[in-house]
């Protein structure tokens, strides 16, 4: 288990907001926190988020990796886990995709290799708890916690990401070099994305507890000094083309694009042709008119984003309880233990709907419990006792428990 450092050293407690910090360790917007070098999340978001790199010494003092090296290797052996192995032996870059049998990994005494495991938060509650510290940024932007293990000299080469990322050093040391270069062209002779011309401007050695925030497209290269482990807390920044294609797919899938007017393509005036292979001009014009007719409302955009951003990744499998308690037993246990969202669950909401693991539903009347559950990811036993008088709430929570989306054991 990682040590649980206090986010609020003695001197800062008095100046902090009176509102209690959420149980998850998530800093409140106006509460200064060592995680952000003594800035409040409000200050950090205003000055650095999406704008410029930010180095924090001792962001999480005394941190240990949420998983040990051996646990990381074990995760990389699972076929429901996304993992990559990057080796740089004798000056040659190589990339392999997991799963990796533990015996398939190079020896830990061998230099210059890195194992990267994506989505560790989906498999380990300690990793999920580490992500919770970064929930001053919206969940809708959060992607995952990746953990890398590298031997001396290991790294993935100079590159850039299309992500906002917090690189938290959790074991050993890593030498980072970064630059805000314009030329982001990549080498085309390699199996991984490596910048053709890396022009570092700043460099630091990060020790356990230190953290570097990078906005998208900042060139960077991190090389292990001795054995090291780094946590990458990544926030997706989808491109306009990805958003467009996903949104059009969403509209089409729901038959929403033409609001019920799904008439068949017709060409009653098509004359016979002497060039059968030529694309008819009339076809192009008619389809252009159909596409120009695509209509959507703001609520379609909101529903699309909620569903898409809460959709589990394709390798995520929920595991319902082997012998689920019936509703009465569930309620009984939840009144003593509380409930919490399973670490794999994503629950988002807007003014009208909630989006649970990709499914949209209307917010129920008396929705405050659902909003609290979404924001704190837990309902205390005490809160559950009050809610347990409403059978529609307990039935819904029991249904989610049976699906493996919610589990017993919030806070007392
Ligand atoms: C790593 O942890 O080795 C790489 C992380 C990154 O550069 O994004
Ligand atoms: Co990177």
**Would you mind telling me the total number of residues written for the chain in this entry?**
412
Report pLDDT digits (tens) over 245-266: 999 999 988 876 666 666 788 8
Q: Residue 304: is its pLDDT beyond 50?
A: yes
For ligand 1, atom 2, the nearest C-alpha belongs to: 148
Residue 175 CB less than 6 A away from ligand 1: no
The residue-averaged pLDDT of 189-196 equals 96
The pLDDT of residue 352 is 95
- What pLDDT sits at residue 1? 31
Q: Does 156 contact ligand 1 (Cβ within 6 A)?
A: yes
Judge contact between 7 and 37, C-beta under 8 A. no
Question: Cβ(399)–Cβ(364) under 8 Å?
Answer: no
Question: Is residue 407 predicted with pLDDT exceeding 90?
Answer: yes
Q: Per-residue confidence at 145, pLDDT binned at 50, 70, 90? A: very high
The residues with which 304 forms a beta bridge, in sequence order, are none
Distance from Cα 166 to the centre of ligand 1, integer Å:
10
- For residue 160, report the distance from its CA to the centre of ligand 2, in Å: 6
Mean pLDDT of all residues in 40-45: 98
Judged against a pLDDT cut of 70, whether residue 306 lies above it is answered with yes
Q: Residue 275: which pLDDT band, with cuts at 50, 70 and 90?
A: very high
Q: Is the pLDDT of residue 14 over 50?
A: no
Band of pLDDT at residue 212, cut at 50, 70 and 90: very high
Mean pLDDT of 352-365: 96
User: Cα separation of 293 and 302, whole Å?
Assistant: 20
Bond from prior residue into 99 cis (ω within 30 degrees of 0): yes
Mean pLDDT of 365-391: 95
Which segment of 5-9, 16-20, 156-160, 397-401 scores lowest on mean pLDDT? 5-9
Pick the ligand that lies closest to the CA of residue 172: 1
Torsion of CA 375, 381, 382, 388, to 10 degrees: 90
Dihedral sign computed on CA atoms, order 33, 36, 39, 41:
negative
Ligand 1 atom having least distance to the Cα of 167: 5
Question: Residues of 323-358 as b/e, b for ≥16 C-beta within 10 angstroms?
Answer: eebebeebbebbbebbbbbbbbbbbbbeeebbbbbe
Under a CB-based contact definition with an 8 Å cutoff, are residues 106 and 18 in contact?
Answer: no
User: Which listed ligand is nearest to 116 at the C-alpha?
Assistant: 1
Tell me, what DSSP letter sits at residue 45?
A: H
State the Cα–Cα distance between residues 382 and 338, nearest whole angstrom.
Answer: 7
- What is the reported pTM? 0.90
Tens digits of per-residue pLDDT, 158-191?
999 999 999 999 999 999 999 999 999 999 999 9
* Six token digits for residue 75: 């995760």
Tell me the average pLDDT of the chain.
92
**Nearest residue to 66 (alpha-carbon basis) of 124, 6, 142:** 124
Q: Is the pLDDT of residue 237 over 50?
A: yes
Query: What is the 100 CA–ligand 2 centroid distance (Å)?
Result: 22
Name the residue among 158, 214, 238, 225 with its Cα closest to residue 190.
158
How far is the centre of ligand 1, averaged over its atoms, from the C-alpha of 220 (Å)?
9
Residue nearest atom 4 of ligand 1, based on CA coordinates:
156
pLDDT (mean) for 296-321: 95
Which of the 8 DSSP states describes residue 367? T
Is ligand 1 within 6 A of the CB of residue 65? Answer: no
What percent of the chain has a predicted confidence (pLDDT) above 70?
92
Confidence of residue 23 (pLDDT cuts 50, 70, 90): low
Q: Which domains does the chain have, with CATH numbers?
A: 9-235 (2.60.120.650), 258-295 (no CATH), 327-408 (3.40.366.30)
The whole-angstrom separation of Cα 85 and Cα 315 is 19
């Amino acid at each position: 288990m990682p040590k649980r450092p206090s986010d609020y050293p003695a001197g800062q407690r008095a100046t902090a907001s009176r509102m209690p910090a959420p149980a998850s360790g998530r800093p409140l917007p106006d509460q200064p926190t060592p995680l952000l070098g003594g800035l409040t999340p409000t200050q950090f978001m205003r000055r650095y988020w999406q704008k410029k790199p930010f180095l924090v010494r001792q962001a999480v003092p005394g941190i240990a990796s949420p998983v040990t090296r051996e646990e990381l290797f074990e995760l990389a052996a699972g076929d429901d886990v996304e993992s990559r192995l990057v080796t740089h032996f004798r000056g040659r870059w190589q990339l392999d995709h997991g799963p990796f049998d533990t015996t398939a990994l190079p020896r830990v005494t061998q230099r210059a290799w890195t194992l990267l495991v994506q989505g560790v938060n989906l498999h380990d509650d300690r990793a999920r708890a580490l992500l919770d510290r970064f929930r001053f940024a919206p969940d809708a932007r959060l992607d995952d916690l990746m953990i890398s293990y590298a031997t001396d000299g290991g790294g993935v080469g100079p590159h850039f990401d299309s992500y906002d990322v917090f690189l938290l050093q959790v074991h050993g040391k890593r030498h980072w070099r970064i630059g805000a270069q314009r030329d982001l062209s990549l080498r085309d002779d390699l199996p991984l994305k490596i910048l053709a011309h890396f022009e570092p401007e700043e460099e630091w050695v990060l020790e356990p507890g230190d953290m570097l925030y990078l906005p998208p497209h900042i060139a960077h290269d991190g090389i292990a000094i001795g054995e090291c482990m780094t946590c990458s807390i990544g926030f997706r920044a989808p491109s306009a083309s990805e958003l467009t294609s996903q949104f059009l797919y969403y509209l089409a899938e729901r038959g929403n694009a033409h609001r019920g007017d799904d008439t068949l393509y017709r060409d009653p005036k098509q004359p016979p042709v002497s060039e059968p292979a030529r694309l008819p001009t009339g076809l192009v014009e008619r389809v252009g008119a159909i596409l120009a007719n695509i209509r959507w409302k703001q609520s379609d955009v909101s529903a699309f984003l909620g569903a898409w951003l809460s959709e589990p990744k394709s390798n995520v499998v929920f595991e319902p309880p082997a012998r689920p308690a019936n509703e009465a037993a569930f309620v009984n246990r939840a009144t003593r233990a509380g409930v919490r969202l399973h670490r794999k669950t994503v629950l988002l909401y807007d003014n009208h709907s909630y989006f649970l693991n990709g499914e949209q539903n209307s917010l129920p009347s008396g929705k405050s419990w659902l909003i609290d559950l979404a924001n704190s990811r837990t309902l205390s036993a005490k809160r559950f006792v009050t809610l347990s008088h409403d059978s529609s709430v307990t039935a819904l929570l029991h249904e989610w428990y049976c699906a493996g989306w919610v589990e017993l054991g919030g806070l007392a």
